[in-house]
Amino acid sequence: MVDVLTPEQRRHNMSRIRGRHTKPELIVRKMLHGMGYRYRLHVRDLPGTPDIVFPGRRKVIFVHGCFWHGHSECRFAAKPSTRAEFWRAKIGAAQSRDALAREALTRDGWDTLVIWECELRQDVLLVRLRSFLDNSS
């Protein structure tokens, strides 16, 4: 597949993508707030700087974009054919960082939950969130 945008247009689009306060993250935060949960955002003291943190419960939630974090077998995580090696390395590095952060958090006594962008369209997400937050480990 060939990119339909010029390199300048692609660069402009990519420069607008942010790692915090993304649309998927805002959807999850709105769900949690509506369910009555209160949380902290992007706590830098924790490994991986989790998106949503529940300090009293020692639980964290990562909201991952399927493309950027390489969600396996997901239609939103299609690998670009342009600069394939670059993207393979970039997404692989993100996956490695994610795994290391989750391991470090688990070692420190935190429970982690990863929510993928494609899971936001499922009705079971509310049940999954409530189960994760209300069950003590």
Residue carrying structure tokens 């209160």: 38
State pTM to two decimals: 0.83
How far apart (Å, rounded) are the C-alpha atoms in residues 65 and 37?
A: 23
Per DSSP, the three-state class of 89 is helix
Query: What are 16-48's pLDDT values in tens digits?
Result: 666 677 888 999 999 999 999 999 999 999 999
Predicted local distance difference test score (pLDDT) of residue 14: 65
| Tokens linked to 134 | 């209300």
Q: What size, in residues, is the chain?
A: 137
pLDDT of 101 over the 90 cut: yes
Query: What are 118-131's pLDDT values in tens digits?
Result: 988 777 899 999 99
| Structural domains of the chain in order of their starting residue, each with its CATH number | 19-134 (3.40.960.10)
Predicted local distance difference test score (pLDDT) of residue 10: 65
How far apart (Å, rounded) are the C-alpha atoms in residues 83 and 80?
A: 7
Question: Which residues share a beta bridge with 64?
Answer: 116
How far apart (Å, rounded) are the C-alpha atoms in residues 91 and 39?
A: 28
Predicted local distance difference test score (pLDDT) of residue 29: 95
In this prediction, residues 85-110 reach a mean pLDDT of 93
CA angle 48, 49, 50 (to 5 degrees): 95
In this structure, the number of other CB atoms found within 10 A of the CB of residue 65 comes to: 20
